[in-house]
Structure 1
Amino acid sequence: MTAVDERLAPAAAPPPRRPNRLRALLRNSWRQLTSMRTALVLLFLLAVAAIPGSVLPQRSVNAENVAGYFREHPDLAPVLDRLGGFEVYASPWFAAIYLLLFTSLIGCVVPRLRDHVRALRTVPPDAPRRMERLPQFAKAEERPDDPAAAAQAAAAVLRKRRFRTVVREGGGGITVSAEKGHLKETGNLLFHLALLAVLIGVGFGHWYGWHGNRLLVQGADQGFCNSVTQYDEWSLGPRVEAADLPFFCLRLNNFEAAFQASGQPKEFEASVEVQEKQDGAWRQARFTVNDPLRLSRANIHLLGHGYAVELRYTDRYGAQQTKIVPFLPRDGMFTSEGVAQFPDVNIDPKTNRREENLQVGFEGVYLPTVDPRGGPASIFPDEKDPVLFLSAYRGNLGLDAGLPGSVYALDRSQLVNGKLKQVSGERPQRLTPGQSWTLDDGTKLEFVGTRPFATLAVRADPTQSLVLGGAVLGLIGLMLSLAGHRRRLWFRITPRDGSGSLMEAGGLPRTDYPGFDEEFDQIVGAARGRSEGTP
């Protein structure tokens, strides 16, 4: 082959490019993740994953209930703990579902939002050449008016029904194109954007929110200030430190409870004093179960109430101690159980030494209204005939060991090992307000009376407004999505030989719309009637 032939010969085809398997895998995975079907599956999985958080006790809400679950289920509880069953909303698997759903929604919404904006800016397309193939079609009819007047009449009817309308000339006639129903897609996008807002709000609320529970007894001497050490139970978000808590102090002045004749609660109301600035003035406030006390950076919710028993103990040396101990209700009639412990009593004034085996504890039941027939439970939640039944114990209460324990029950291990013994006999002592009880060693216990207490939940969620707004927008978007139906209509008006015109119409529903045929007939009838001059 000569040099000229070589130059004229076609160049060899380049070898085919091998597909990049990793890139194809990532592209296909992204398409699957950002599909609407995957988003729905992830949303369902998130709902299913939240079920253990509702069934099992959570450490962030009530650590004591978690400890109780371990005692009741010693074999199952460690397995659930390793799986994150007691910290569901902070577990890696719940966070993975949450983040995948968030990513999937973004991948779904952003392209659809771009396409929706483009569709809103695009005018309706021109009429198809063969409208008889459309689902709805009206045959051509002769009109006495000219094509321009008939087209304007049809466009006026469509605009009156809020169709986006375009009139075009060409091809030997005039066409009227109309489209309606973009609110359906707007509602879909609004719903998904609202869901994203809720997810963002819940996520940031978990990071920067905090909560604490406090049992607050009535009285100026029983108030508390906002500090983690003042709460019975508390939980801070991962981005919140103890020093970040806002300042406020609260004390319960009065608690009013009203009950029906059956004992069912009718109304609860707490009257408190609040101080929101250090060395600031105290202000009065009232709140109920469904109307929380709203502070600048926290809300205080009323969860329940009960009675705190006030006891005064006089030891063998004549020293007195007074304690106000809450008794927790165990039924709807406020049969309440509690413990009063006096570890720092019977101190010899000569040596100033305390005998640890002379500590005293009282355990018993408080009945706001005692059963006159001698029943073991209260018969009404209000204090109509209050009675306190107590058993006394003397010895080592086990408080000096420094181990965590419940303040509402005695340390049973001390009773088992014999370091704490019952000294009041087998039958509990019956006391009414004002009565006293002299023990076998000459010490005395006086039942001074009771005070009401309120169970409060202090909550701070900086994204609460965002979650609420997202929920409202989600409902609006859902209603728009259900109510909207996208459809298109066309009219073609062609001039007739001599005078007048011919009008034909077609319609295409873009979504499932059972009432489209009826709407199409009404619009066509209105357009033809108007072109003829009829109302």
Structure 2
Amino acid sequence: MKAILGFVVAKLRGAWRQLTSMRTALVLLFLLAVASIPGSILPQQGVNPEKINEYFVKHPDLAPVIDKLGGFDVFRSPWFAAIYLLLFTSLIGCILPRTRDHARALLRRVPDAPKRLTRLPEHHRGRTERGAKELAAALRGWRTVTREHPDGTVTIAAEKGFLKETGNLVFHTALIGVLIGVALGSMQGWHANRLLVQGPEQAFCTTPQQFDEYVPGTGVNPSDLPKYCLELTGFQASYLDSGQAESFGATVAVTGERTETAEFSVNHPLRLGDANVYLLGHGYAVVLRYTDTNGRSQTAVVPFLPTDQQTLTSEGVATFPDANADPTTGKPDRTKQVAFSGLYVPTAPESGMVTRSIFPEERNQRLVLTFYQGDLGIDQGVPSSVYRLNQKQVANGKLKQIGDGKSLEVNGSWTLDDGSKLEFLGTRPFVTVSLRHDPGEPVVLVSILLVLAGLMLSLGGKRRRVWVRLTPSDDGTNLLEIGGLPRSEYPGFAAEFAAVVAKLDLKEMGDDTREPVDALR
């Protein structure tokens, strides 16, 4: 039993040493960077949920596999968290013993000069009339220790370059700070997305029920959200002749803890207390009025989502589930529900079929729609997209296409075969915004600055030592011998040593006899 226990303890110690080695930390850091790549390539739940739906439509076989592997929510997946925690543990295991050793080195006195300074890589002999105090003062900037020996000689041990190891420790400690900041943001932060159409009736307040998507941290309650309401009052966009967006920004009316009219754009978010509102995208919402067979009119403001960001060619669906209700009871007939699915192009070509826009700005608007009637499937308790028809209902024949499609201009109308009427009243701009609160951002910012500072210290610092031996002579001068030793790779040490010799103002005694450097520590 004792042998088994000893074997297990030995294996655990070996695993711990392997985990806390700098090589393992670098490998884990590389793995974390590689694991972050899918989060940049694939659409993510907290950023572009509508893009995920598009990915499922375009890749029906691949998307479910990626979803099971956590590819659409990389930074909250178990495998990413495992790499994250292992890296955190490895860095702490690396830093603690190195910090202890560095502290000991700082407190330890510089060792005395070796007997034979001629065996050092750099060596010089000379005479001086200066005393030990003057020479120690000339070595300003070096950590010096002066020692007197029984034979009358005096040695000065000088050391420099501790900033290299200090920089290494600051660098790796700051990496832990980055990890802590990210973890703090994940636990105490929150983010939410909302598609906001212009108009007072489309305004929303910062409550979970009114967000299109809301992802709170593990320690966040709904009561922690800032109390604001936002209404989109304007949107401005400018485009180059090629159709590329030059600039765009939104104007919103803010009410709640403060009341104001504010503007924000892609690189200039709106500050709402501790939260920021980021502008992610924009598009057009189609305004439609449908008059059913009973003469009852309903108006809908329907966002059409861009399928081509360059030209803002957009797709969407407008549903009227209460259409054709019983005029006496007002009860809707599920077999007579109405929907219009189609394409909106802000600038249609002058001739030919309208299949895509040729410019993102509204210059020649067209709305191409197809009429559907039947059971929309919205009362089945199954979540479905409000931007697409329920294809299951279409496939089983409960929702049928009626007649051919129709292309409408602004203020154009379409009288359907059953006598109902659809009018295209125009469009309104919409924006997609992301609201985010991340208390870990200051920690990450400070840590990144420390990472850079530590990296510069680590690359710039060079550990080296210089020893001076002062031996009195009969002529009233002192025989002085200097040796230098770089503790790390330092091509410029010879020039620095020469500068130290010049600073001490020595009178040379001639050529030195240099012994080979071996076994000197």
Give your verdict on TM over 0.5. yes
* 2-structure distance, mates of 1:64, 1:269: 21
1:181-219 superposed Cα distances (whole Å, 9 cap, x missing partner): 111111111111110111111122212222111110011
Contact 2:174-2:448 within 8 A present in 1 as well: yes
CA contact (8 A) 2:46 2:192 kept: no
Q: Which is worse superposed, 181-190 or 344-353?
A: 344-353
**Alignment map for 1:344-493 (pairs within 5 Å):** 344-374=322-352, 375-425=354-404, 428-493=405-470
Rounded Cα–Cα distance in structure 2 between residues aligned with 1:19 and 1:221? 71
Cα distance in 2, alignment partners of residues 79 and 423 from structure 1: 36
- Report the Cα distance in structure 2 between the residues aligned to 1:75 and 1:360, rounded to whole angstroms: 31
Distance 1:530 1:236 in 2: 74
The 1-side partners of 2:137 and 2:146 are apart by: 11
Question: Partner residue of 1:36?
Answer: 22
Pairs within 5 Å for 1:73-92:
83-92=69-78
Per-residue CA deviations over 1:327-362 (Å, capped at 9, x if unaligned) read 111111111111111110122322323222221111
Q: Which runs of 5+ in 1 are unaligned?
A: 1-16
SS of the residue corresponding to residue 263 of structure 1 reads coil
Give 1:233's aligned residue.
213
The 8 Å contact of residues 197 and 232 in structure 2, kept in 1 or not, is answered as yes
Q: Sort the Cα spacing of 1:357 and 1:377 in 2 relative to 1 into closer, same or farther, 3 A.
A: same
Paired with 1:99 and 1:471, the residues of 2 have a C-alpha distance of 19
* Aligned equivalent of 2:126: 141
**CA deviation after TM superposition for structure 1 residue 241, in Å:** 3.8
The answer to whether 1:158 aligns with 2:149 is: no
Deviations 1:267-311 (A, max 9, x none): 11111122243xxx5211111101111222211110111111111
Q: CA deviation at 1:528?
A: 2.1
Distance in 1 (alpha carbons) for counterparts of 2:330 and 2:272 = 47
Deviation at 1:239, TM superposition (A): 2.9
Aligned length: 504
Deviates more, 1:260-269 or 1:164-173: 164-173
Name the TM-score, length of structure 2 as normaliser: 0.90
Q: How far has the Cα of 1:22 moved from its partner?
A: 4.0
Q: How many angstroms apart in 1 are the aligned matches of 2:93 and 2:489?
A: 25
Change (3 A) 1:81 1:414: closer
3-state DSSP class of the match of 2:504? Answer: helix
The residue that corresponds to 2:236 in the other structure is 256
Unmatched 5+ stretches in structure 2: 509-521
- Partner residue in 1 for 2:193: 213
Q: Does the Cα contact within 8 Å between 1:61 and 1:234 map onto a contact in 2?
A: no
Could you say which residue in structure 2 is the equivalent of 1:326? 303
- Say whether the 8 Å CA contact 2:275–2:437 is kept in structure 1: yes
For 2:249, the equivalent position in structure 1 comes to 269
In structure 2, distance between residues paired with 1:133 and 1:318: 106
Residues 226, 272 of structure 2: 8 Å contact kept = no
Task: Judge conservation of contact 1:487–1:511 (CA < 8 Å) in 2.
Answer: yes
Check the 8 A contact 1:62/1:233 in 2, yes or no: no
AA matched with 1:490: W
Any conservation in 2 of the 1:61–1:233 contact (CA below 8 Å)? no
Task: Choose 1 or 2 for highest CA Rg.
Answer: 1
Instruction: Name the CA distance, whole Å, in 1 between partners of 2:407 and 2:62.
Output: 42
Secondary structure, aligned partner of 2:479: strand
How far apart, CA to CA, are the structure 2 residues paired with 1:373 and 1:68? 29
Offset at residue 73 of structure 1 (A): 5.9
Q: Is contact 2:468–2:482 with CA below 8 Å preserved after alignment?
A: yes
2:169 corresponds in structure 1 to 189
The verdict on how the C-alpha distance between 1:529 and 1:137 changes in structure 2, with shifts beyond 3 A counting, is closer
Q: Once superposed, what is the RMSD of the aligned Cα atoms?
A: 2.6
**Cα 1:266/1:29, change in 2 over 3 Å:** same
**In the TM superposition, what whole-angstrom CA distance separates every residue of 1:67-119 from its partner, at most 9, and x where no partner exists?**
66666666666655555445443343333322222122112112222222232
1:369 to 1:19, Cα distance in 2 relative to 1, 3 A: closer
Give the letter aligned to residue 165 of structure 1: T
Q: Distance in 2 between matches of 1:347 and 1:79?
A: 43
Q: Give the TM-score taking structure 1 as reference length.
A: 0.88
| Alignment equivalent of 1:117, drawn from 95, 103, 120 | 103
Structure 1 residues 150 and 530, CA, compared in 2 at 3 Å: closer, same or farther? farther
Q: Equivalent residue for 1:204?
A: 184
Task: Report percent identity of matched pairs.
Answer: 56
Offset of residue 495 of structure 1: 0.9
Check whether the contact 1:311–1:322 (CA below 8 A) recurs between aligned residues.
yes
